[in-house]
Amino acid sequence: MVISSTQYLLKDLFGRPVDRLRISVMDRCNYRCIFCHFEGTTRGSGEVFDAEDYGFIACVLSRYGIKYYKLTGGEPLLRDDIHEIVANIKRYAEEVSLVTNGSLLKEKARLLAEAGLDRLNVSLHAFTDDVYRYVTGGSNLLYRVLEGIDEAINYGLKIKINFVLMKSNLEEFPKILEYTISRNLDLNVIELVPLGTPQDVYQKEFVSVTEVLKFIEEKSVSRYVREFQNRPVYILANGSRVEVVIGYGNRYLCSACTRMRLTSDGCFKTCLYVEKPVICIVEVVKNRDEETLAKLFKEAVYARKPFFT
């Protein structure tokens, strides 16, 4: 198989370039977080690709400017071959990152680092055991997550903490922020979205990120807007970054979104909030049909449109 090294960045019909792919490599999770949207897909949809399949996909898409990959799930560390997936994609990528709940990170950190993983997003929504159990649907593994973060740091992996803000963990935020500062980590503060969250839970738990913005501003020394999704980023005195993610109803985020998605059952998905169109690529990947894969990827890009306008 010969793949041209020529790269050109595809743009959708709204002029938005696409340079990154978010891949659900696993449809299962060992947590039951109360807010989980499961990447906008159905639980139990299956996992169809192996590590070499993902390498082929990255190889072909590298011709079209896809250079940033984020692996997610479910919980991607449940896959025994997750480090092989990272290594196969990394051959064709500028950056490979991974989202995890951190419960298995201590065991996997070395393999991930050796495979070439650039960065981890670790979900940490509480620093108190009872709040953590409530948010995660009963997990008692907070201590394992913290051990895993330290292990990953020891292996030189960059870490960003993901914190979904809710009424139940609002008081946890100062603890989370101080923790990230103490370890020179970055932090995503994510506003709760209604997708996948039961309506009663959403109504009970939603709180605007404005509730913590003043606290963040007091800790910060500067601020800028990140090009990707127009996300506000606050720089703290120690150099850590706090990124604010307001996904639902945010047309400014949509206008600067450069991400395509790939589901665990092998379909391109244009947006978290959009069920269709989805474009299945299982057969062409298994057959190593690079020409058709490229064609289907272009179709998916041209089908993208901002969900919020």
CA torsion, points 24, 131, 148, 196, in degrees to nearest 10? 0
What pLDDT does residue 275 have?
A: 85
Residue 135: HSE in the Cβ half-sphere, 13 Å Cα cutoff:
25
- The pLDDT profile of the chain, 309 residues, written as one tens digit per residue, is 334 455 679 999 999 999 999 999 999 999 999 999 888 887 777 899 999 999 999 999 999 999 999 999 999 999 999 999 999 999 999 999 999 999 999 999 999 999 999 999 999 999 999 999 999 999 999 999 999 999 999 999 999 999 999 999 999 999 999 999 999 999 999 999 999 888 999 999 999 999 999 999 999 999 999 999 999 999 999 999 999 999 999 999 999 999 999 999 999 999 999 988 799 999 999 999 999 999 999 999 999 999 999
pLDDT tens across 253-307, in order? 999 999 999 999 999 999 999 988 799 999 999 999 999 999 999 999 999 999 9
- How far apart CA 32 and CA 258 sit, in angstroms, is 29
The token duo for 225 is 């807007």
Q: How far is CA 118 from the centre of its chain?
A: 13
What pLDDT does residue 4 have?
A: 44
Three-state DSSP class for residue 293: helix
Stated pTM of the model: 0.95
Strand runs labelled E in the chain: 20-24, 68-72, 95-100, 119-123, 158-165, 186-191, 220-226, 231-236, 241-245, 259-262, 267-269, 278-280
Among residues 221, 159, 220, which one has the least CA distance to residue 184? 159
- How far apart CA 183 and CA 127 sit, in angstroms, is 15
Q: How far is CA 282 from the centre of its chain?
A: 22
The domains located in the chain, with CATH, are 20-302 (3.20.20.70)
Among residues 223, 273, 277, which one has the least CA distance to residue 248? 273
Q: How many CB atoms lie within 10 A of CB 286?
A: 14
Three-state DSSP class for residue 173: helix
The DSSP-derived string for 75-105 is: -GGGSTTHHHHHHHHHTT-SEEEEEE-STTH
